[in-house]
Homo-oligomer: A and B are copies of this chain.
Amino acid sequence: MAHETTVKVRFSETDALGHISSISYFIYLEEARTDFFQELGLGADIADWKIILISAQCDFVRQGHFNQRLKIATEVSRLGDSSFMLAHQITDEKTGELIAKGEAGAVYFNFKKQKSERLPAELKEKLEKYLGKDKREHKA
């Protein structure tokens, strides 16, 4: 199962080369992540924030442009005891063409104690549903 978010490319997210700024892709990936976290019951409220980002990555496959509708599909690519990796695919909503691929590493984090904590069982179960197909088989 993959979580899906849709964004429309804003004018301010382009740059002088005429396409989407490389930086804007990271805005879209963060948008996909925060959407996904809310579906998991996490991160709607800043006072109760539980996730710290430890890495972000993006491969730019095709140039995207102003006003384009992009679909960002997010899966869990690795699931540890207190951390997990997300894999994202950004595609053109209409044509399905691959625009970019991203990855992010996240840690379940206690901001008061400033240290990582084990993922609660219930949350881990939810994350497992989004484990990419290959990963689930590998796990079995």
Residues of A whose CB lies within 8 Å of any CB of B are 10-12, 14-19, 21-23, 26-27, 30-31, 34, 38, 44, 46, 49, 53-60, 65-67, 111
Contact = CB atoms under 8 A, between A and B. Distances in A.
Copies in the complex: 4
Given A16-B66, A17-B111, 4 more contacts: A11-B34, A16-B18, A22-B56, A56-B58
Nearest to A103: B57
Nearest to A100: B55
A55 to B, nearest CB: 5
16 contacts: A11-B16, A11-B31, A12-B23, A14-B16, A15-B15, A17-B111, A22-B30, A22-B53, A22-B56, A23-B23, A38-B67, A46-B65, A53-B60, A55-B57, A55-B58, A57-B57
